[in-house]
Structure 1
């Protein structure tokens, strides 16, 4: 297509190419609009493929660029194109044809690979090793597993004091030879969000596949969906048999497991696998005894194995995570430089979880690219301001209250949970119930259940009793304030 054709708005075939003169003129104008730094970072690879029926078809080589431009610059891009080529009324941003073909080919290879990696099939090292970030979906004889992200392996997991025990247990479970009895079974890893438990259990899955073990990784949601689908298709027996014939079962986000029937089947599956020496690995967001929505038998099974908590990231580990994320970002943006002082500031300021650290690196990268200026301490603080959270009060557990009160009054926790009604036990028990009601969000029935299966009226009586005594006894009031401070620290 010639420049004259565009100016005269003459209809043409879809595949006709605009002249380079029009595109050069547009690029110069758009660069002046957004600045050299932004243009070089985000629009250098932008191409105008064609203009058809008053629509300009643009393309970029990667999905990331397409998503970023759509989110931040699509309207500005449309305005400049329309101004530069008056006959154009709209634009369409596409992924370049060569990129689409590459993605399609990769998807086909992945589908072939997924079909090869199943129960009873041999796994070559090529089946499980890849440098790319694309998740691999395992289809195991009719059971569709959740995605295993190839980036989440042991090589990429950073170890520190907060996760060292969990990492060692995961390594032990992952390296055991097939057919050898499991040492820690089930292995239950729990933590707050963003501390790496999904990374660790997926690393176990990858190591198991590399060792030739039959592995399936499922989220709780995927397990529920698979079981319900099997019931609807009247193939629940086949579902159970196939699931129990594997060597390693990895379950993530178990706190979302719902439904009495599904939980019973899950418990039966655990029992069948563990009793036959197969390994089970589970991840949740809290300790087994705090998963109130799960059946008691399921929680008991979890507690019967090795339960490991991943603690909040210490500052040294946060710095290492930031350095690793910055190094990864630098592969895509070679000019992205962050000083040690900025890294240290971010590590001190963001002490929540790894996802917030990822968000901080993204904000620093965006600031560097969009502002086109060096990243000072002040600029970095402004960029991550929304990620710096006000420290929330410590989450108090009923078990912690029971232990502290028992120690303070020189009785045992078993005494507090027992039916004994001697004075030296009744008063600590009532104080513990009062603290549980005032320092946790647990309901009266739940507190009663955690205090030896007592009725909620017993808890209510204890709370009112202590409230009455506190109003009259300043010594007891001071004692309770001390206990509260100890629990909150």
Structure 2
């Protein structure tokens, strides 16, 4: 009886493990965050996913080979130890690189056929043609089928605007939207147009019969001027006032008192009638000096969401997603996380700049068949880089950069701790100090925790020896050198 109960209990335990490995893995990651610290967790574990647990093996998936190798080398023991808190019988962990997965979900249109280059996967599904929104014979600006919510990368600097845009799109059937008008503002290339296109696609998908009109300010002005010339301005205004959702891009370019007055009337009519209005501009409504006070007040009366400059994490996520898409479309193309980290550190202006860098890397590979290394990446995107002359490297810069890259505290680098996870970054820091500064070995030793010059010499020789056999280490150090010099 007891044995039967034990067997039943064992089966129940196995079923629970099989049913909810994701929940158990979430608890494991929470414990890893507590053990390793927020910086290390954010750098290496946030994107690690669990596949399954079978025969004592915990199968985890990661986005890149670089990340797989790094976790195997540096955090295998920590992962296995914490995972055994959920799966006591586990005896090992397997890290594998998952296949890139991404989708585009605009409404279906006729696919565009094109000849694939030798490096392009032949059976890739082509994107539909751009769609023009319109209503009652009035033609709007074209919608890009790539610009959907699925392809928008969310980070700390754009999450409010993204959440608001998605809420508006999902509430398209509700005549009393809580965010009307929705005003999105931010500098060029941060994703305003992407969100407007994504909203138009989503509303069309949710409610195919909805009357959706997406216009640039220039297109609105052009349409109104043509209507005036044709003495059809009244019909023009009535058409606009009967649509379900109006999306206006580049509002800062709306000029002329007559056009502004008519747009203000249209805006009031739509909002008062329960129709949704979304506006994007490069600055907040109160700073649009060319608009009259009434319009600025009405535009600021709903939700105003700013998209701020991208931080490093968001830039890296965008590059990672675009590189995964490029690699999935291009046979043999590989872009290492080291290259992505280098680009994310140096390209800071806009998402278009990041996407342009990935397009160039892909084109270079297709034309030359050369692997994408940091040297190749730097040469290709040199004109996108900001800053001219290389700056003078200081040991403080090296300590800060190495600490950030390897997720260790500066105090640990200077301490007497002998953990491998600290010794190796410390040795790399000493090697870089000798290579990039004019400091003597004794001076370097003093700056790295009052160490003897023989310790510094040993570290330099050790790193040189490892670099001769380890391609990944050579790439890492090349990345650090460029980050420090630029």
TM-score bracket, shorter-length normalisation: 0.5 to 0.7
Does the 8 Å CA contact 1:153/1:203 hold for their aligned counterparts? yes
Alignment of 1:67-466 (within 5 A): 132-212=127-207, 213-390=210-387
Alignment length (residue pairs): 267
Unaligned runs of 5+ in 2: 1-112, 118-124, 389-486
Residues 148 and 64 of structure 1: is their aligned pair in 2 closer, same or farther, counting only changes over 3 Å? farther
Q: Which residue of 2 aligns with 1:394?
A: none
Any idea what SS the aligned residue of 1:155 has?
A: coil
Any idea what SS the aligned residue of 1:156 has?
A: coil
CA distance in 2: counterparts of 1:275 and 1:376, whole angstroms: 57
CA distance in 2: counterparts of 1:244 and 1:185, whole angstroms: 15
Per-residue CA deviations over 1:342-366 (Å, capped at 9, x if unaligned) read: 1111111111111110111122223
Deviation at 1:283, TM superposition (A): 0.4
Deviation at 1:332, TM superposition (A): 3.8
Does the 8 Å CA contact 1:178/1:247 hold for their aligned counterparts? no
Q: Which residue of 2 aligns with 1:429?
A: none
Deviation at 1:133, TM superposition (A): 4.6
Residues 234 and 140 of structure 1: is their aligned pair in 2 closer, same or farther, counting only changes over 3 Å? same
Deviation at 1:224, TM superposition (A): 0.6
Any idea what SS the aligned residue of 1:139 has?
A: strand
Any idea what SS the aligned residue of 1:154 has?
A: coil
Deviation at 1:292, TM superposition (A): 1.3
Any idea what SS the aligned residue of 1:146 has?
A: strand
Per-residue CA deviations over 1:158-209 (Å, capped at 9, x if unaligned) read: 1111111011111111111524312111100001111111111111111222
TM-score, scaled relative to structure 1: 0.52
CA distance in 2: counterparts of 1:322 and 1:358, whole angstroms: 7
CA distance in 2: counterparts of 1:218 and 1:256, whole angstroms: 12
Any idea what SS the aligned residue of 2:318 has?
A: helix
Does the 8 Å CA contact 1:133/1:149 hold for their aligned counterparts? no
Per-residue CA deviations over 1:398-424 (Å, capped at 9, x if unaligned) read: xxxxxxxxxxxxxxxxxxxxxxxxxxx
Deviation at 1:316, TM superposition (A): 1.6
State which structure, 1 or 2, has the greater radius of gyration over its C-alpha atoms: 1
RMSD over equivalenced CA pairs, Å: 2.0
CA distance in 1: counterparts of 2:116 and 2:280, whole angstroms: 31
Does the 8 Å CA contact 2:134/2:212 hold for their aligned counterparts? no
Unaligned runs of 5+ in 1: 1-60, 66-129, 392-489
Does the 8 Å CA contact 1:220/1:257 hold for their aligned counterparts? yes
Residues 278 and 167 of structure 1: is their aligned pair in 2 closer, same or farther, counting only changes over 3 Å? same
Deviation at 1:329, TM superposition (A): 2.0
CA distance in 2: counterparts of 1:159 and 1:337, whole angstroms: 24
Deviation at 1:64, TM superposition (A): 9.3
Does the 8 Å CA contact 2:153/2:314 hold for their aligned counterparts? yes
Runs of 4+ residues deviating >4 angstroms: none
Any idea what SS the aligned residue of 2:324 has?
A: helix
Does the 8 Å CA contact 1:188/1:283 hold for their aligned counterparts? yes
Does the 8 Å CA contact 1:131/1:150 hold for their aligned counterparts? no
Any idea what SS the aligned residue of 2:150 has?
A: helix
CA distance in 2: counterparts of 1:63 and 1:275, whole angstroms: 50
CA distance in 1: counterparts of 2:379 and 2:143, whole angstroms: 36
CA distance in 1: counterparts of 2:116 and 2:246, whole angstroms: 33
Residues 63 and 303 of structure 1: is their aligned pair in 2 closer, same or farther, counting only changes over 3 Å? farther
Does the 8 Å CA contact 1:325/1:361 hold for their aligned counterparts? yes
TM-score, scaled relative to structure 2: 0.53
Q: Which residue of 1 aligns with 2:465?
A: none
